[in-house]
A and B are shown apart, each in its own frame.
Chain A
Amino acid sequence: MAIEVRIPTILRTFTGGAKAVDAEGATLSGLIDNLEANHPGIKERLIEAGDLRRFINVYVNDEDVRFTGGLETALSDGDQVVVLPAVAGG
């Protein structure tokens, strides 16, 4: 069983328009590498200097990963991952 990853509109150019894709990984970091293998270019939009980009939110089972260990957040089959860019500005 895989992990479903919800893809925001702005990143669907990397997933052929798909709103959600399946991926695998024991941690969020591994999952993002797996996403990158199947959807080249997406990793750079999520990660900067080895960490999640400041204005990208990732949720695992509705928890913001900033509060659950960031890229090291552990994942299990059946987890639901949501990627949402921050809605922010000045």
Chain B
Amino acid sequence: MNPQFLADGLLMGAMIGLGAIGVTLTYSILRFANFAHGEFVTWGAYGTLAIIGLIGFAYGGDISEIAPFSFGWPLIIAGLIAALLTGLMALALDRLLFSRLRAKGTAIIMVMASFGASMALRSLCEFFFTSQPRYFSRDIQMAIEILPGMRMTPDQMFMIGLTAVLVTAMHLLMTRTTLGRSMRAVSENPALAGVVGIDVDSIVRATWLIGGALAAAAGVMSGIVVQIRPFMGFDLLLPLFAAAILGGIGSVPGAVIGGLIVGLAEALAVPLIGANFRAAVAFALLIAVLLIRPTGIFGVRE
């Protein structure tokens, strides 16, 4: 078999893993499946695109790329700003919608509301940016042979490196800092978290900010290596949930490893059973995990 699927799967898995961190955090801390999470991915990508446009407008003319990548410094700056804005958007969505329902509703009401929010955000995106696919760059990059039979473009390698940095940072945050420990505490037992002095509301806010920002990072990655479309986040939703559940809800390393497994499985499905069935792989994995080990790889039995 062509080992290229490993490179493709790794890249796809890195994107899914980044997005799944947000899913797993909101799921474990707020106790509901947020189906609007995919829209944070989409809005992160479009936000970056819009900010790059603004930077280009302010500077006038071309800004050269950073060799050997297809993008220049505006994308990095725009990505950072868009990540912050997407985090704030997630926070605003919580303030306007979820926090009101949380006070009185049950999990299923929140899930349904997130479906609604997802559709509204996606339509809003189509309204502003149209449904035409957009690209950060139309340049064609040459893939470099990194291992026998395995090729990657410099952009793709950058993305994998970036994912590794973000995931390591997240892992350190969760295990070494008071914020991370507090997030784990709220996820395990919100009432006890309050008793030990943790302001649960501020932890919820931090969770939305972090989840939204990481989703935006996944969106930018997806935009660079594939394209930017209003449905890009929604199409990623199932793999995101599959990864989060596979890794064990609440576990950051779990989400990333789950993402890599889903990404590699999808990539492997292409040569084995055909590209048409690629999307079904995440589904099949999800069902298999729920049947065999519902708590996931790193999950703890409640």
To the question of whether A and B form a pair in one complex, the answer is no
Residues of A within 8 A of B (CB): none
Residues of B within 8 A of A (CB): none
